[in-house]
Amino acid sequence: MIRIADLETMDRAALVAAWSDTFGEPAPKSLSRAFLRRFIATEIQSRRRGGVTKKTRAALTKSEDRSDLSRSPVLEPGGRLIRDWNGVTHVVEVNGNGYRWRGTTWRSLSAIAREITGTNWSGPRFFGLNGKSGS
């Protein structure tokens, strides 16, 4: 059995071998040494404590079944989105051709969010349509 304390001094090849021993499958190529160490250590600790609880397993299984979630919110013409950004309130009206902001019709919310912030944003996220708006 691998000891958690030994993970810190292992090189990448040893961590990849430890991953295979621990999980019974090859390590993902994209994971850094730090992530390999963390994942392996977490698995070792979990197994020592009896594994994942039934409650956690049920929550993970439930989160895998996302078929009932809408991929994007339905915005009906006439709706309005309001977002404060750096002290300025931005109002976007939903119409049949896209989104109207500052007298111009835009095809996507992301283009409006990019114009407001100067950086790439997910429009739905910026306007809080998925519950994760930034500030």
Q: Per-residue pLDDT for 132 more than 70?
A: no
pLDDT band at 130 (very low <50, low <70, confident <90, very high): confident
Q: Within this chain, do residues 9 and 52 fall inside the same structural domain, yes or no?
A: yes
Q: What is the pLDDT of residues 57-80, one digit of tens each?
A: 888 887 666 655 555 567 888 899
**pLDDT value for 72:** 52
**Which secondary structure element, helix H or strand E, spans residue 85, and what is its range?**
strand 80-85
Supply angle C-alpha 45, 47, 53, rounded to 5.
100
**Is 114 part of any domain?**
yes
> Do 124 and 72 form a contact (C-beta atoms < 8 A)?
yes
49 and 91 assigned to the same domain = no
Q: What share of the chain is helix, strand, coil (3-state, %, to 5)?
A: 40, 15, 45
* Count of the separate structural domains present in the chain: 2
77 closest CA partner among 55, 99, 61, 62: 99
In a domain, 72, yes or no: no
User: In the block, which residue shows the tokens 């111009």?
Assistant: 104
- Residue 47 CA, chain-centre distance (Å), reads 27
The string of pLDDT tens digits covering residues 3-40 is 999 999 999 999 999 999 999 999 998 889 999 999 99
Is residue 66 a part of any domain in this protein?
Answer: no
Domain that holds residue 28: 4-57
- Tens digits of per-residue pLDDT, 81-129? 999 999 999 999 999 889 999 999 999 999 999 999 999 988 989 998 8
Q: Is the pLDDT assigned to residue 51 strictly greater than 90? A: no
Report CA torsion sign: 41, 44, 48, 53. positive
Asked if residue 63 belongs to a domain, the reply is no
Question: Going by C-beta distance under 8 Å and a sequence separation of 6 or more, which residues neighbour residue 134?
Answer: 121, 125, 126
Look at 37 and 135; give whichever has higher pLDDT.
Answer: 37
